[in-house]
Structure 1
Amino acid sequence: MSNEITGKTLLIVWHSRTGAAEAAAMQAYEAALAIGRELDDPGDVCIRRACEVTPDDMLAASAYLFCAPENLASLSGQMKECFDRLYYPVLHRIEGRHFSAIITAGSDGEGALRQLRRICSGWRLNERVPAIILNMRSDTEAAILAPKTLSEAQRQQAGEIGATLFALL
């Protein structure tokens, strides 16, 4: 069975608890669409909640952007469940495809990013665009649970990842 797919599709998969990872995913989505228009590129950009992604979605995409919050030094439960559900149905069928990630974190994010990279390594994906951690500087219970808004710099970083990943397809 071939890993080759026809067409160019960037699949953005996200989960968010307080809005930061969702905002990052939406910014990346909009930037990928914009670069596609600018390059007059017929590729496609799809965005899905982690709980809605299917093996067929993964197989139809040529690159992936995963956007999730870190919770207790690891990926959020819903994003981890997404990977658990999809891992074996697409194993050995998506090797070599590109990915990147945006982790939103209260103060660190390294644990979630390390976990995500390990999963993607098992799929033998290629981190073509370096992942980023958007630090939300939340260090109290109230700040951690509060709705989040990305700074302009964070919005720009998220957009750059989406645009670059799409442009590289």
Structure 2
Amino acid sequence: MKTLLAVVHAPSANTQRLSGALETGAHHPDIEGINCVCKSPHETVPEDILNADGIIIGTTENLGYMAGMTKDLFDRCYYAVLEQKQGLPCALYVRAGHDGTGTQRGIESIITGLRWRWVQPPLILRGQWDNAFCDQVEELGTYMAAGLENGLF
């Protein structure tokens, strides 16, 4: 059984809906060999990342940058996982009230340093809330879980 770790900052009802959609996608009925563990950045410890076969980061855009809790996750875990998790398949979604570029750049810089491997371009959910955001994040969860199960990444 492979483990997909979803580290999601979900401070609002809508971002909690995104987290639920991600879990729904990762638990698609056609996918059997994946254990999806969803945690907040605050709850996540280096051992969670060390035990993961893939990771999805979900964050909000705060003041043109990633959420402070997401940044705290990287601050606490970066060096503890740096050498052992190079090549970790990863994906990102950002709930951005504006354009999300500062958040995307900040996280891409950290991921580059960690030497994790993007499995798809970051998903930026821009502007006013749209219920279609949940469909996009659910699809991301399904894609990541199916790819891990089938050894694609």
TM-score over 0.5 for the alignment?
yes
Q: Is the 8 A contact 2:10 2:59 kept in 1?
A: yes
Structure 1 segment 158-169 matched on structure 2, within 5 A = 158-169=137-148
Q: Is the 8 A contact 2:93 2:137 kept in 1?
A: yes
Gaps of 5+ in 1: 1-6, 138-149
Per mean C-alpha deviation after superposition, the further-off stretch among 14-23 and 78-87 is 14-23
- The structure whose Rg is larger is 1
Return the match for 2:30 from 13, 28, 38: 38
The one-letter code of the counterpart of 1:10 is: L
Return the match for 2:101 from 110, 116, 124: 110
Structure 1 segment 1-169 matched on structure 2, within 5 A = 7-34=1-28, 37-39=29-31, 41-137=32-128, 151-169=130-148
Q: Is the 8 A contact 1:129 1:164 kept in 2?
A: no
Q: Is the 8 A contact 2:21 2:134 kept in 1?
A: yes
Q: CA deviation at 1:129?
A: 2.2
**Which of the two has greater strand per residue?**
2
Q: Is the 8 A contact 1:64 1:98 kept in 2?
A: yes
Cα pair distance change 1:107/1:128, threshold 3 Å: same
Question: What RMSD in Å do the two structures reach over aligned CA positions?
Answer: 1.3
Gaps of 5+ in 2: 149-153
Distance in 2 separating the partners of 1:57 and 1:127: 19
TM-score, structure 2 as length reference: 0.91
The one-letter code of the counterpart of 1:105 is: A
Distance in 2 separating the partners of 1:130 and 1:28: 16
State the secondary structure of the residue aligned to 2:116. coil
Distance in 1 separating the partners of 2:52 and 2:63: 30
Aligned residues: 148
Q: Is the 8 A contact 2:10 2:19 kept in 1?
A: no
Q: CA deviation at 1:130?
A: 2.0
Q: CA deviation at 1:29?
A: 1.1
TM-score, structure 1 as length reference: 0.82
Q: CA deviation at 1:22?
A: 2.9
